[in-house]
A and B are shown apart, each in its own frame.
Chain A
Amino acid sequence: MDVSLVIKDALRYLGAKKRDIEAEALLRRVYEGNKDTFSPRAVYGLYEIDTYTPVVKLRGYAFSLEGESIRRHLQGASHALLAAFTLGIAVDKRVRELSLARPSESVALNAIASSYAERIADEMLLEERKKIERDGYKTNFRFCPGYGDLPLKTNEEIAQALNAQKKIGLTVTEDGLLLPRKSIVGIVGVTKEVEK
């Protein structure tokens, strides 16, 4: 994990427009002081695509993937890889605690945790994609509920199907909020590689 990239993203979230060495140093300090609260975990499920119409359905998956955007994302794919990821609850608690003890650090940590979560989720997912690609498939990027017209309720359905609460401690509130806060759910298209 390249920490400087994490910090760069976090700076952007926090509204820094110009390069600011002090701000970077500060974020680095907050990162170092709190990275013990990051406990990334992921769970995956690979499902064969059953049908594309009228909505995408996966074999052995109790729900469907609704909307035009996900159909396009999975165009030509034989499988869909469902992924759920979380950075864990400890960082949420630390952000809360710091918001009372040292508010500026809290805001900094919140931004760092978001950017760290995005990057580590991608890294872990890449590992999983590589495993699949070794068997002669190619994979595309992570498409998340809320992108395009893929409904947000898909978050909860995927979490349920992957048993994410039991496996990685990821929960979804009735309003669709993922808890712990720094959590990501996504779908990757898996396509059989054609021999050239």
Chain B
Amino acid sequence: MRNGFVLFDGAMGTMLQARGLKAGAFPETYNLTHPDVVRDIHRAYVEAGSEVITANTFGANPFKMKNIDVEAVIKAGVRLAKEAGARQVALDVSAHGVLLEPNGTLSFDEAYENYAQIVKWGAEAGADLILIETMSDLLEAKCALLAAKENTTLPVYVTMTYMEDGRTFLGTDPVTATVTLSALHADAVGVNCSLGAADMLPLVQKICKYATCPVIVQPNAGLPKVKDGKTYYEDTPDLFAAAMKNIAMQGVTILGGCCGTTPEHISKLKQMLEGMTPTERNVPAYTAATSATKTVFLGEEVKVIGERLNPTGKKKLKAALIEGDIDYILKEAIDQERAGADILDVNVGLPEIDEAKTLVRVVKEVQSTVSLPLQLDSSSKEALERACRIYAGKPIINSVNLKKESLDAIVPIARKYGASLVGLCLGDTMPKTHEERYAFAEKLVRELTSRGIKKSDIIIDCLVLTIATDSTQADETALAVKMVTENLDVRTVLGVSNVSFGMPDRLKINAAFLGKCIHSGLSAPILNPLVEEYAEVLQGKLISLDTSAYFTFDTGGAEGIRGMIFCGVVGGIEDAVREALKTRSPLDVINEEFIPALDEIGVKFEKGEVFLPRLIAAAEVVKKGMDVLKGPEAEGGEPDVILATVKGDIHDIGKNIVKMLLQSYGYKVLDLGKDVDEKEVVAAWERTHAPLIGLSALMTTTVPSMKRTIEALHAAGADAKIAVGGAVLTPEYAREVGADYYGKDARETVKIAEEVIRHTK
């Protein structure tokens, strides 16, 4: 509009339903079957004053519309809007309607390909902009936004839809979505659907506070009501326009309607907007990192970045990364979250592995399990680019330095993906004094902003050097932090524990240094949040891990190792095992303590005298005990058992229980995870020649996939025994799919393993 507002249209879906569209049918097919109906609706909106008409392409996606010419549907959709006299046409894009991996089975790459295809067709048909709307999954919204930006030159608007609790179905809040999507260069961000205009106001206020681009709002016409068997929406055009006035006053400039709104609503909205001028918004600069469900702002109070997902000096994590033991890595992430970390640093750099591939896998899994934002820690351009791409938020990149190669490689990635960027005070020389550090920091800020990084996205690492070689280093670093904070007005991070490298009594030194740096204004120390000494320094900000909250079953006699296992007592098992090792061999401890205790509880489980959590608690205790026997070195060697939940099935609780119990009996398990392609199972067998393969399926629909996997194994000449299990399986089913064994439950599977592996060894 002349006064600076942009007026969109209202609903299409509910209008089509009113004209006979059947529930469950694709409204978009009307573009081909009933073009007049669609054009008429568009025209009514044009006449009501809509400047942008949204093409009827909301659900037009090759993923959903099988056996339909989606290209024709999309192109007709854009054309009909134009024919109706639209001044501008928005290509309407929305969700796939299924969950992305690893929560669901749709891969990011597949989703991207679909979106890329959709936006290309839309652009070819002459759409003027792309509206990505009604999104619940921030990662999917990001995927669509990237596809739109990378395959067209059109402006892209993104709106998410929130429930009355202020979150999307997948838990994203409006601040997080706004910070993330504006950093990703959306041309407008906002909210649509679900709520009426009045209920949307608090969400809109949050969005307006953080959006660095224009804000778009398209509410429903209130809530749907049913009267005389007919659905209607409670907000009349007048009510709608009145509520939209409050929304416009927050600084929203792009307005329209969603479900239940009609040309009358838009017409009233137009009249209302004609009497207003856009409210100017002042968005203060902020430094932030987001996950899909959380935003962490740096600068106000100290935020802790957990350092434990970094293989340097950690043998077990190193082994887990090499073997692809994702559960171990996730456990480290969860422990840090529970200990109070605010952000997690993720570093998987090892010469033995493909860093980019591993970082992508670890980020995918970690972000679907913990809710903390991640700091992607790598010097590999490829690893950072690929991880930033599939990361469901605004990450921090750690780090760039003043060397030209580093700047050239890292800055474009940070800029493209809107990441916050750690600038490390390092160049062709290493700074020694606080003055040198400050000079480096100043130069970094200048260099990075000139290359297009926002100043508020820069976080300076003043570089911690050990006091073992130069005792002044702690003070010099702390002073530099103070100068950078006060004079440059940027946020800071520090890898605190480097200060004591090569020194005795490291934790005390680290804790003292941490206190000094916090006093100097440090925004975010990178440290191990599980260390109590730090927690004290952070003054109750960190809560230590409460291991006493584990289940215990006080059925008496929790004495000795067998008693502890039997009763599920985790605390103390490690000491008890260490004590036993003074007089007995590890094998004796396993055979005389672990196995009999597990057998005892297993028999009770079979008889129904104890229930499943109890059996698992026993296995947990054994696992802890086993760690003592194995020592910090992860064991090598080929697995005894390969486990997988078959393709198409993402249930893994049962499989994980089997794994845990097998491990507690001392079997080495290679866990391929869930939704595993048959080829992957065959490849794992060819690599390891494990004598037993366990396959799990929980749904009748995935039993065929189990059968295919077994056939593929046989075709590949695998002589391994195959055991199958899962809720829908029966001994008959097991035979039918060609399995050698039917594992009724975890306990049964252990017996199968005993039989098979005894035979082969």
Contacts and interface: CB of A to CB of B under 8 A. Distances in A.
B653 A104 contact: no
Contacts of B612: 14-15, 107, 111
B103 A92 contact: yes
Nearest to B335: A101
Looking at A161, A162, A173, the one whose CB has the most chain B CB atoms below 10 A away is A173
Interface stretch (B202-210, B310-318, B499-507, B548-556): B548-556
Contact of A18 (B98, B168, B608, B619): B608
B331 A171 contact: no
Contact of A23 (B98, B134, B614): B614
Interface string B91-111: 000010111000111000000
Contacts of B23: 45, 47, 60-62, 161-163
A160 B651 CA distance: 23
Interface stretch (B270-278, B382-390, B487-495, B695-703): B695-703
Contacts of A62: 22-25
A166 interface: yes
B61 to A, nearest CB: 12
A125 interface: no
Contacts of B619: 103
Contacts of B165: 39
B24 A96 contact: no
Nearest to A22: B553
A190 B1 CA distance: 51
Contacts of B169: 88-89, 168-169
A195 interface: no
Contacts, number: 152
Contacts of B370: 97
Contacts of A88: 169
A11 B549 CA distance: 21
A11 B612 CA distance: 9
B605 interface: yes
Contact of B616 (A20, A22, A107): A107
Interface string B695-739: 000011110010000000000000000000000000000000000
B568 interface: yes
Contacts of A93: 103, 368-369
A42 B643 CA distance: 36
A110 B103 contact: no
Contacts of A90: 171
Interface residues of A, number: 59
Contacts of A161: 23-24
A150 to B, nearest CB: 13
Interface in A159-196: 160-163, 165-166, 168-169, 171-177, 179, 181
Given A61-B22, A107-B613, A99 B608 contact: no
Contacts of A108: 613
Contacts of B24: 61-63, 157-158, 160-161
Nearest to A45: B23
Contacts of B103: 89, 92-93, 179
B608 A104 contact: no
A171 B653 contact: no
A70 to B, nearest CB: 16
Contacts of B25: 62
Looking at B612, B613, B614, B653, the one whose CB has the most chain A CB atoms below 10 A away is B613
A175 B649 contact: yes
Interface in B645-659: 648-653, 656-657
B653 A106 contact: yes
Interface in B598-626: 605, 608-614, 616-617, 619-620
B656 A171 contact: no
A15 B656 contact: no
Interface in A78-129: 88-90, 92-93, 95-97, 99-108, 110-111
A134 to B, nearest CB: 13
Looking at A63, A88, A92, A166, the one whose CB has the most chain B CB atoms below 10 A away is A166
A173 B653 contact: no
A97 B702 contact: no
B323 interface: no
Contacts of A20: 610-611
Contacts of A158: 24
5 A-B pairs with least C-beta separation: A169-B169, A17-B608, A161-B24, A62-B24, A16-B611
Interface of B: 22-25, 95, 97-99, 103-105, 134, 136, 161, 165, 168-171, 193, 229, 327, 330-331, 334-335, 338, 368-370, 549-551, 553-555, 568, 605, 608-614, 616-617, 619-620, 648-653, 656-657, 660, 699-702, 705
14 contacts: A15-B608, A15-B611, A26-B551, A26-B613, A61-B23, A93-B369, A100-B330, A100-B369, A101-B335, A101-B338, A104-B613, A165-B95, A169-B136, A175-B649
